[in-house]
Amino acid sequence: MSTDDIAKMATKYAEIVTVREPRWRATMWHATDLCRHCGMCVLWDERHPLCPNVLKPDQVVLSPQGWGPARNIVAFTGGDVACRAEFYARVAEEIKRECSDLWVLLETNGYGLTPRNLEVLASGGVDSFCLDIKAYREDVYRRLCGTTNKWILEAPKLRVDMGFVLEVLTLYIPGWVELDQIAKIAELVADVDKSIPFTILAFFPEYKLRDVRPPNLYEMVAAYYVAKGKGLENVKLGNIHVFAKSSEDVKLLVSLLEARALG
């Protein structure tokens, strides 16, 4: 698609937006404050037990990804789109020209976020980044991703200094990325700004890591408290279905954490 095609799609999307977020909430992390994507309020006029109760049913729409609010955010993901900084800077510029109240979010593993690319993306008007830090230890990072994480670990500071909104994700991968590295990543983020939204995702076996087990509920709860212990104020756990498979598990999780901590 051309930048023009994408801007046209974004303009169409702007017509069905049901929730206008301020720029600082242009993150995926904040989406679960609004809705848990069950569709119950639309389909059965009932609320999910963990529904945040902040949306009206007419703000919940059915999209290819399921039920949820249509927020005024256009997000790009896949590989590392930040490696094509000029293209996405142009996309952001054209989207903003058509609809100034849409925020542009890039999901990235950080590889393409060199200082030069960040400047290019800032000049186009990209608003926020969802940075996926796969590992703290460079040897583990290299085994997982085939490259160094040197500038990826420096990216949070650079991005906040440049005025981007930032959220950080990391994965709990048993035997690969456990509490020690999650603590280091949390510390690094807290040193930049304690309010940066931080999500710890549960790994599930796929592709070349099919023999690695997913983390269990207690490991994920421990990871949550490790991140909180580093001073982070906004921590959530993600991929809940991986480690909380029954309603009893979810109840246990809510009793050990708080509903807001479930991403």
**Positions in the binding site for ligand SF4 (CB under 6 A):** 35-41, 47-48, 51, 55, 60, 67
**Shortest spacing between CB 52 and ligand SF4, in angstroms:** 7
Q: Work out the burial of residue 189: count CB atoms within 10 Å of its CB; fewer than 13 is exposed, 13-18 middle, 19 or more buried.
A: buried
DSSP run (H or E) holding 190? helix 179-192
**Shortest spacing between CB 125 and ligand SF4, in angstroms:** 30
Cα–Cα dist 199/85, whole Å: 25
Cα–Cα dist 94/256, whole Å: 46
- Which is closer to ligand SF4, CB of 34 or CB of 171? 34
- Which is closer to ligand SF4, CB of 27 or CB of 170? 27
**Shortest spacing between CB 32 and ligand SF4, in angstroms:** 9
Q: What is the rounded (10 degree) CA torsion for 131, 136, 137, 139? A: -10
- Which is closer to ligand SF4, CB of 55 or CB of 179? 55
**Shortest spacing between CB 34 and ligand SF4, in angstroms:** 7
- Which is closer to ligand SF4, CB of 40 or CB of 209? 40
Q: Both tokens of residue 159?
A: 């991005």
- Which is closer to ligand SF4, CB of 41 or CB of 82? 41
Cα–Cα dist 211/39, whole Å: 34
**Shortest spacing between CB 49 and ligand SF4, in angstroms:** 9
